[in-house]
Amino acid sequence: MYTQSFNVPDGTAPGPQAVPTAADPALQTHFDTVIDADGKIEPRDWMPEAYRKTLVRQISQHAHSEIVGMLPEGNWISRAPSLKRKAILLAKVQDEGGHGLYLYSAAETLGTSRDQMFDALHSGKAKYSSIFNYPTLTWADVGVIGWLVDGAAIMNQIPLCRCSYGPYARAMIRVCKEESFHQRQGYESLLTMMQGTAEQKAMVQDAVNRWWWKCLAMFGPPDDNSPNSVQGMRWGIKRISNDALRQKFVDATVPQAEVLGVTLPDPELKWNEAKGQHDFGAIDWDEFWQVVNGNGPCNKERLATRVKAWDDGAWVREAALAHARKQEQRTMKEAA
């Protein structure tokens, strides 16, 4: 559910962009024709190397984001305020794990392996959505993540359902179907808190204040500073620009905040009658890039938690394989 809209180069020192190699012109022409006709590219079709690389990077970053995205909310499963909220949160976190699995499978159709992707994540080489490098301090954060973080992710992900790469588009359709529950449960949880005590209301407002700007940054750098976007648009991977999606998100969220009874922490946020949309303040991109490059409040903790879970599960993976081999040998012996 949590797309990394910006699709940044993995690693901290991005090298020069790969220059697409001259391929068979007939194949390239066929590919271009399919893309221009808004058609789909499937795993075994010929595709330019740069298209393949871009997709592997974007889909694997997206998958990593789903997996790491389980951690901030997972922290609250054992502290949920009621059995109902606990069951809901468990289901949501399980969905995120499922979304990660759909996306890893889609990336694998491009010729990368699950082990390669895990290695990239666990070694710290691969990026994931920077939003998860912030802490979830109170129960209200869980509601706000559902409402705003998932809300922003939905905005990003709906256009991806029309992505030119078939397996990615199909995975996104599945993800988007499940995503709406995530946003609604978060918003409803906040509505409940807003009918509570003054402290509970303050808790919601505080969480909104802390997450709002980070959610706006989730849409990625402004269009004039997002060189990859142009190529992504050309290839039908990206359909709507970062700024256009961000604007859509702001316009959709303002009335929801009013119903909820919270203010969005931006003094410059106001309706612009002439433009028919909201104006809003400047995003702190320096902070965004700091977090993307590993210096956010929770980068180290998240990665360490993920690596520990992977390492702790090693014996299960090995035992399952050993069991499968034993069963196979037993069957062969019986057949002999």
Partner 1 sequence: MNAPALKEWPLWEVFVRSKQGLEHKHCGSLHASDARHALQMARDVYTRRQEGVSIWVVPSASITASEPDSKDAFFDPAADKVYRHPTFYEIPDKVGHM
Residue 261: CB minimum distance to partner 1, A: 32
**Token pair 């920077």 in the structure block, residue:** 130
Tell me the C-alpha to C-alpha distance, in Å, between residue 262 and each of 22, 180, 187, 207: 55, 21, 12, 10
In this complex, which beta carbon is closest to partner 1, that of residue 94 or of residue 272?
Answer: 94
Residue 302: CB minimum distance to partner 1, A: 23
In this complex, which beta carbon is closest to partner 1, that of residue 202 or of residue 320?
Answer: 320
Q: Classify the C-alpha dihedral 194-199-204-209 as positive or negative.
A: positive
Chain residues binding partner 1 by CB under 8 A are 42, 44-46, 91, 94-95, 98, 101-102, 105, 108, 113-115, 170-171, 174, 178, 317-318, 320-321, 323-325, 327-328
In this complex, which beta carbon is closest to partner 1, that of residue 301 or of residue 318?
Answer: 318
In this complex, which beta carbon is closest to partner 1, that of residue 67 or of residue 260?
Answer: 67
In this complex, which beta carbon is closest to partner 1, that of residue 11 or of residue 166?
Answer: 166
**CA proximity to 80, closest of 63, 69, 62, 92:** 92
Cβ neighbourhood burial of 305 (10 Å; 0-12, 13-18, 19+)? middle
**Contact assessment for residue 145 and residue 211, using Cβ atoms and an 8 Å cutoff:** yes
Cβ neighbourhood burial of 237 (10 Å; 0-12, 13-18, 19+)? buried
**Contact assessment for residue 241 and residue 27, using Cβ atoms and an 8 Å cutoff:** no
In this complex, which beta carbon is closest to partner 1, that of residue 2 or of residue 211?
Answer: 2
Residue 119: CB minimum distance to partner 1, A: 10
Residue 197: CB minimum distance to partner 1, A: 35
**Contact assessment for residue 139 and residue 203, using Cβ atoms and an 8 Å cutoff:** yes
Residue 306: CB minimum distance to partner 1, A: 17
Pairing of strands 270-272, 277-279: antiparallel
In this complex, which beta carbon is closest to partner 1, that of residue 106 or of residue 148?
Answer: 106
Question: 22 in helix, strand or coil?
Answer: coil
Residue 115: CB minimum distance to partner 1, A: 5
**HSE on the CB side for 31, CA within 13 Å?**
21
Residue 160: CB minimum distance to partner 1, A: 16
Separation between Cα atoms, residue 204 and residue 171, nearest integer Å:
33
